[in-house]
Amino acid sequence: MSGAPTTHDPSCRTVATARAPHGNGVFSLAALVRPWGVYRPQGDSQLLREALERAAMPAGARVLDVCTGTGLIALTAARLGASDVWAVDTSHRAVIAARCNAWLHRLRVHVLRGDFRDRPAGHRFDMVTANPPYVPCPDGTARSPGPERTVDAGPDGRLYLDDLCAVAPELLAENGSLLVVQSALSRPDLTLQQLGRAGLKVSVVARRTQPFGPLLSSRAPWLEERGLIAPGQRTEELIVVRADRVPRPWR
């Protein structure tokens, strides 16, 4: 989960590349460069990584990781054998971090500044992964400066999820798949509905319940007031939604 969408900056299209070793997708989070202001991989990152490891990507897959942050998921895809990996983030610091991490781990990952609309012209992907901002926040907070910017997504938590669902079919190659992680606080049922209406085959492939961190704990009274959590609730469920683009039948 990382930076909020902004205007695409074509000047930041440099690439961090190296020869990718074979092996599993496991990385020590302590081995990742993470400047201040870049989202720290947490339970949602781990859940998405596990879903990707189970997804059985085709050999030589083309992968796009949006809201890449430190680049953890993009690096995992490269380590799992993807041959063409792109990572995008709207945060300059995240772009630098992801490039550094690709270089340090000797993995070929193309990193550019942008959001999920910004990709190489004409490219579609076998796998798209996303950990977008999804934390509900009071009006006006989502675009405010500060570390919360990497997670805040408007009063319903869907400021970026709705846009991602709308553009997802344009990102996927035939038989391509999207993996997106979010909180139950931000209405995964709407994610399933929107992706399904777009013609994709949808399912929930992973779940995890975890205690509130400091940010959600501080917002608990506001979340209760809005009816997003039950009185006294101090846990959230994380969910990974998978959406597959299936071939259209011949007529």
Q: State yes or no: pLDDT of 160 exceeds 80.
A: yes
Distance from the Cα of residue 104 to its chain's centroid = 22
Lowest mean pLDDT among 104-118, 187-201, 228-242: 104-118
In a domain, 2, yes or no: no
Instruction: Inform me whether the pLDDT recorded for 184 exceeds 70.
Output: yes
215: which residues sit within 8 A by CB, 6+ positions away?
135, 148, 151
pLDDT value of residue 118: 66
- Does residue 250 form part of some domain? no
What's the confidence (pLDDT) of residue 28? 65
**If you average pLDDT over residues 1-14, what whole number do you get?**
38
Chain segment 202-250, per-residue pLDDT in tens: 999 999 999 999 999 999 999 999 999 999 999 999 999 999 998 765 5
Question: What is the pLDDT at residue 120?
Answer: 61
Residue 101 lies in a domain: yes
pLDDT for residue 8? 35
- Residue 70: which residues within 8 A CB-CB, separation 6 or more? 32, 33, 34, 38, 39, 40, 41, 94, 97, 98, 101
Please indicate, yes or no, if residue 133 is contained in any of the structural domains: yes
Q: Which domain covers residue 220, as residue numbers?
A: 41-244
* pLDDT at residue 14, rounded to an integer: 36
Q: Is 56 inside a domain boundary? A: yes
Total tally of structural domains belonging to the chain: 1
Whole-angstrom Cα distance, residue 188 to residue 239? Answer: 8
- Residue 126, pLDDT score: 95
Domain containing 179 — which CATH number? Answer: 3.40.50.150
Q: Mean pLDDT across the stretch 176-189?
A: 96
Asked if residue 121 has pLDDT above 80, the reply is no
What pLDDT score was predicted for residue 86? Answer: 94
Residue 15 lies in a domain: no
Instruction: Judge whether 24 lies within some domain.
Output: no
Tokens 């400066």 belong to: 145
Give the least confident one: 54-68, 113-127, 132-146.
Answer: 132-146
In a domain, 30, yes or no: no
pLDDT tens for 39-61 read 888 899 999 999 999 998 888 89
* The predicted structure's pLDDT at residue 164: 93
DSSP labels, the chain: ---------GGG---B--PPPPS-----GGGS---TTSPPP-HHHHHHHHHHHHS-PPTT-EEEEES-TTSHHHHHHHHTT-SEEEEEES-HHHHHHHHHHHHHTT--BEEEE--TT--STT--EEEEEE----B---TT-TTSSSGGGGTB--TTS-TTHHHHHHHHHHHEEEEEEEEEEEEGGG-HHHHHHHHHHTT-EEEEEEEEEEE--HHHHHHHHHHHHTTSS-TT--EEEEEEEEEE-PPPPP-
Give the whole-angstrom CA distance, residue 150 versus residue 96: 15
Question: pLDDT at residue 145 above 70?
Answer: no
**Best mean pLDDT range from 1-15, 46-60, 184-198:** 184-198
